[in-house]
Amino acid sequence: MMEFRRTVAVLIGLAACSLFMVRAQAAQNRKEGKTIVINQRIATSTFFTSNFGFAGTPPGSANLALYSGEGSEGKFTGQGISQSAPTGTCTLPDGSPDGLELKLVGHVASSKFSRTGDLLFERGGPGDLVACLDPRDKLPNGAPNPNFQSFHETGTVLIVGGTGRFAGAQGIETVIQDGSLISPTDANGAFGFSVGSFKATFTVPK
């Protein structure tokens, strides 16, 4: 009888220990959250840019962008605003050292995924994105084209929240895009277009 009681006690102890471990693992999972990776294979953006500078800062480029694309979470659309400032020269993708560098000052954007209607929010800070403009673009006759510039942009921005299955999202988004901007002569602004790929990696609470 004593051996039977000892066996039961051991089994109860093991069950309690197992239950504690399951609860501890569940708490850890909730703490760590669920990881989501979104590969936005193709995204196009159109934007308007204008010279802009806060009081006491050099003028830079302020942009209002509308974009759309399709990726691993289906089709999406979005909009964002940003400001960049010139910081010197840079190396273009072909190795030329003659590029004109622009670094991000600030950026916010919101993407809406068509399949679920969920939103994903992002924010960028100083230097998070770097664009290299090509000043060598030519007119058909070979003369420099003052109204057209192509650019290459790379960097990462923060994922800072969302709605639906993206509520509480925290992570990063990697940006790679190429585009161009066209401006009338002596105008304080320009229109632009870009195509790129974006990869967002973030966690949401379980």
pLDDT at 148: 80
The answer, yes or no, to whether residue 12 has pLDDT greater than 60, is: no
Say if residues 87 and 103 touch (Cβ distance below 8 Å).
Answer: yes
Q: For 159-170, what is the mean pLDDT?
A: 96
Rounded mean pLDDT of the chain?
81
Q: What is the DSSP string of 23-50?
A: HHHHHHHHHH-EEEEEEEEEEEEEEEEE
Q: How many CB atoms lie within 10 A of CB 44?
A: 14
Say if residues 171 and 202 touch (Cβ distance below 8 Å).
Answer: yes
Domain ranges of the chain: 1-32, 34-204
Single-letter code of the amino acid located at 191: F
How many residues does the structure list for the chain? Answer: 206
Separation CA 2–CA 68 (nearest Å): 73
Residue 29 binned pLDDT confidence (cut-offs 50, 70, 90): very low
More confident residue, 2 or 167: 167
CA 58, 61, 64, 70 torsion-angle sign:
negative
pLDDT at 40: 82
Instruction: Give the tens place of pLDDT for each residue, 54-65.
Output: 665 666 788 899
124 phi, psi to nearest 5 deg: -120, 150
**Residue 204 corresponds to which tokens in the numbers above?**
């949401």
At residue 126's C-alpha, the angle toward residues 100 and 67, to 5°, is 75
CATH no. of 34-204: 2.40.160
pTM: 0.77
DSSP strand pairing (119-124 vs 129-134): unpaired
Q: For residue 120, which of 89, 88, 161 has the smallest C-alpha distance?
A: 161
